[in-house]
Structure 1
Amino acid sequence: MSKKMRFAIIGAGVIAPLHARAIVSHPEAELAAVVDAVPEKAAKIAEEFGAAHVYTDTRQMLQECDVDVVCICVPSGGHRDATVAAAEAGKHVLCEKPLGITKADMDEMIEACRSHGVKLATVFQKRTTPHALLTKKAINEGKLGKLVLGDAYLKYYRSPEYYKSAGWRGTWAIDGGGALMNQGVHGIDIIRWMMGEVDSVFAYTAPLIHDIEVEDTAVAVLKYKNGAFGVIQGTTSVNPGQEPRFEIHGEHGTIIYGDSGFKVWKTVDGDAAPLVSEGSAEGADDPNAISSDGHYILIDDLIQAVREDREPLISGEEARKSVDLILAIYESSRTGKEIKL
């Protein structure tokens, strides 16, 4: 067997243990290093998951430590700098969502990885669930016929304490936005992946409950390029948080599902809903209540993409589409106009 691929994690916050758990449980991977500006945080993750090296400086780690892949787990506004530094050092990159928080950031990240010949993959683990994969397959096979409506209801709750827990949360400069850019980006990626490219959007966004500068509540109306319409609702203001819900309607059927399973699966050909094990409404109220299963699948995919020299499942170009849509929603809310993508 090829030698194990060595990983480093940059950023030892809430999401880092999901990456670490997935890495150490993979037979072809090992966790070599953890980086965080706060040495105690990096040391805690390193000790728990058996990483030999702890750093407080990303560039020092990239110079000194023999790693193949870097997992970017810093706050969203830091994704560009960490990704570009890794690419320049010849390391493959697995970046947490969102890819970046501006078009310029994403352009730079994609170009840096391309020009240095490294892979850029992004974490959208909701694409790996059985419900998402079966729904996408049904759409691709034409079971729903012409698509008419594609809606995403992403009603999360985050407490005031959550926003106070780190100075970057709820800021434009580092979080890049609120309920859509941080929590809702997963669901926005899903509905765009299911329905296809978006033609235009009109939206309202505001902080209705929390004392933050970005939105905690958003509603957007979408027109897809295939002619279908849709709605996105994204919040961190709904208490208690609700299970994310995706509703796909076509001329020949309807599929509605959430984290806990299919709610509706009706097609004119009379197919029964596929039997899959039910999940849970993970992360609706608590960002710590998220499984590492999806991260394992995406880490495995990146390892195989490197070995086979192919594009990862969710490339940088693919991952940026959800951010471009969110940025258009913000522009619509700011200007009061319909925005073409």
Structure 2
Amino acid sequence: MSGTSGGPIRAAIVGSGIIGHNHALAMLRHPRLRVDAVVDPDAAANAALADRITGNGGADPGRFATLADAFADREIDLVVICTPSGMHVEAAAESLAAGKHVVIEKPVDVSLPRAGHLVKLAREAELRGQVCAVISQHRFDPASVAVAQAVAQGRLGTLTSAVASVAWWRSQAYYDSAGWRGTWELDGGGATMNQGIHTVDLLVWLLGQPTEVFAYTGRLAHERIEVEDVAVASIRFASGALAVLHATTAAYPGLSVRLQIHGSRGSAIINDDQLEYFYAAPDADAPDPAGPVNLAAAEVPAADLHGAAKPADNFIVGHLRQYDDIVNAIDQGTPSSIGVSDALLALAVVKAIYLSAELAQPIEVQTVIEGAFDTNGTEDHP
């Protein structure tokens, strides 16, 4: 197994597209991370990513067409997988077998059977001290952390409901820019899988085990894609709480991601990663407030209140927070905070949404999860 002994963690980025660039910029800011290799069969994409790395103060990385080539040439500790979603598990399995730590950009994959297989591989690797993490950077946003702590402390009382909306816009040119975009095989879905899955992850993190989903999906504003550009779903949780999820890439010109969490003693609203509203009754016998009281400023720093100016590098900072967690896990020889099993649950909810929309009936999430460990290898897209 690759080891670091407190020294630099030498990383290979697999997939030199847009997400690979974002990961590189985040890693360049971490004092322990060093990008030593970029891996992509597209030589021009590798060159562009290498130039981005050196242009931001990093050493010139090796450029390789395959992971095998990179492993043969470089001592790699960590593999960061930024390929199209349908290729994630293949690269992760190869890297874990080679003794490397692994980071996978969301979603963990587009296939539940493949994701279930990776859960088993990751558990075995963790026993060897390897880390296998999946990017869910919004769990590390200060607003998300504040709400999660309030939920865990019971300050919101019994959680009763949630409303989540991802109202984004993607042009036709976005989908036309790469042959894999908008396909079931490699994109795994549309607005729900690619844009909405982070919000799905926050829902299951905050509200607990989802039990049932009923959904509709549509393709209303785009052409030449197989997947949905709008989805709406109702989700029931084991606690009895109910949630409404809306995800779209057909909300011109693109609005915010908004998550409302409601309970018997308090409510919270996260809007575009910042805390817009927070109120929790001071005790169970507190009288109802005379009006809408917003105590968000007492929960997060001013920079994380909704309306505060976001830095231009906000997206990079989000990934950097999770990389702090990943590096700590590597140093300690412990699993990262967000592993493959966590990512599989969010993927199962997305798959349940697609299956419900296809069959026009409620879908039990546990049944979908069990399908992830089906050994026949059957693919599961509609």
| TM-score class, shorter | over 0.9
1:285 corresponds in structure 2 to none
Report the CA distance shift for 1:190/1:303 in structure 2 as closer, same or farther (over 3 A).
same
1:122 to 128, 131, 134: 134
Matched, 1:265 2:278: yes
CA distance in 1, matches of 2:251, 2:313: 17
Classify the secondary structure of the residue corresponding to 2:143: helix
Using the TM superposition, name which of 165-174 and 302-311 deviates more: 302-311
1:44 corresponds in structure 2 to 48
For the 8 Å contact 1:124–1:314, the answer to whether it is kept is yes
CA distance in 1, matches of 2:77, 2:99: 8
1:102 corresponds in structure 2 to 111
The aligned amino acid for 1:333 is A
For the 8 Å contact 2:166–2:258, the answer to whether it is kept is yes
Report the CA distance shift for 1:146/1:71 in structure 2 as closer, same or farther (over 3 A).
same
For the 8 Å contact 1:84–1:108, the answer to whether it is kept is no
2:167 corresponds in structure 1 to 155
1:297 corresponds in structure 2 to 321
For the 8 Å contact 2:142–2:300, the answer to whether it is kept is no
1:137 corresponds in structure 2 to 149
1:327 to 351, 359, 362: 351
Classify the secondary structure of the residue corresponding to 1:170: coil
CA distance in 1, matches of 2:67, 2:306: 36
Counterparts in 2 of 1:126-275, with a 5 A limit?
126-211=138-223, 212-259=225-272, 261-269=274-282, 272-273=295-296, 274-275=299-300
The aligned amino acid for 2:143 is H
1:273-329 alpha-carbon deviations (Å, 9 max, x no partner): 124214789xxxxxx986211211222211211110111011111111110100011
Classify the secondary structure of the residue corresponding to 1:245: strand
Classify the secondary structure of the residue corresponding to 1:292: helix
Shift of 1:25: 1.5
Q: Superposition RMSD on alpha carbons, in Å?
A: 1.8
Structure 1 length-normalised TM: 0.94
CA distance in 1, matches of 2:211, 2:253: 33
Using the TM superposition, name which of 298-307 and 324-333 deviates more: 298-307
Shift of 1:172: 0.3
2:38 corresponds in structure 1 to 34
For the 8 Å contact 2:122–2:340, the answer to whether it is kept is no
CA distance in 2, matches of 1:280, 1:23: 27
2:362 corresponds in structure 1 to 338
The aligned amino acid for 2:364 is K
Report the CA distance shift for 1:223/1:121 in structure 2 as closer, same or farther (over 3 A).
same
Shift of 1:234: 0.4
2:342 corresponds in structure 1 to 318
Matched, 1:22 2:20: no
Structure label with greater radius of gyration: 2
For the 8 Å contact 1:10–1:34, the answer to whether it is kept is yes
1:284 corresponds in structure 2 to none
Matched, 1:67 2:76: yes
Shift of 1:76: 0.1
For the 8 Å contact 1:179–1:234, the answer to whether it is kept is yes
Matched, 1:90 2:99: yes
CA distance in 2, matches of 1:124, 1:232: 18
For the 8 Å contact 2:234–2:245, the answer to whether it is kept is yes
1:171-193 alpha-carbon deviations (Å, 9 max, x no partner): 00100000010111111111111
2:333 to 300, 304, 309: 309
CA distance in 2, matches of 1:131, 1:309: 28
For the 8 Å contact 2:175–2:182, the answer to whether it is kept is yes
Shift of 1:271: 7.8
Classify the secondary structure of the residue corresponding to 1:45: helix
1:44-69 alpha-carbon deviations (Å, 9 max, x no partner): 21232133300011222123321000
For the 8 Å contact 1:110–1:120, the answer to whether it is kept is no
Structure 1 stretches of 4+ with a deviation exceeding 6 A read none
1:242-266 alpha-carbon deviations (Å, 9 max, x no partner): 1100011111111112126333212
The aligned amino acid for 1:127 is R
The aligned amino acid for 1:156 is W
Task: Tell me the percent identity.
Answer: 33
For the 8 Å contact 2:215–2:234, the answer to whether it is kept is yes
Unaligned runs of 5+ in 1: 282-287
